[in-house]
Amino acid sequence: MTRRLLLLRHAEAAPPPAGDFSETADLARPLTAAGRAATQRCGVWLRQHTLSPDLVLCSPSVRTRQTLEGLLPFQQPPAFPTRFCPEIYEAPPEALLAQIRTAPVQARTVLLIGHNPGISALARLLDQQAIALDQGFATASLAVFSMWGSDTGTDTPNWAQCDGQSLTLDTFARP
């Protein structure tokens, strides 16, 4: 079974309180009604494409947690293991890739829920030839990557070695 990496940018969030540009205020921003609806569309899309993560790596912000919560009703039980990683918040692509590389060998599908500009920069790093990424990584956008050679049945290649040479974009969607 092929290894898949799913990159999901959080859904639309409310702006921070007027004049408060602190990290605390930014981390507390909840989803808007449109954002909650977008997470449900993402959940339906994932189910229709039989993409159920074995592991979720999620930023600890309120908007990323709520994005994850919106997917859950559309996934097959049991609920997938989730790691809330402070390192994902406002992370550059190399830091996001470092988090992905910590995924266990047993995980065949990994979902990373994070923020721009890191998510879109990581997608570009992983597949520089993907024309679909030219349209931009709007909120609630989802990129699905496949790992080369992971369908051979062996444990290699695995997440510890993933990079721009081992992953290719399969699908880019804005459900």
Q: At 146, which CATH number? A: 3.40.50.1240
Question: For 59-103, what is each residue's pLDDT tens digit?
Answer: 999 999 999 999 987 776 666 789 999 999 999 999 999 999 999
Exposed (0-12), middle (13-18) or buried (19+): which is 73, by Cβ within 10 Å?
exposed
What is the average pLDDT score of the chain?
91
Distance CA 153, CA 175 (A): 31
**Across 138-148, average pLDDT:** 94
Number of domains in the chain: 1
Which has more confidence, 57 or 164?
57
146: domain range? 4-173
**Across 28-57, average pLDDT:** 95
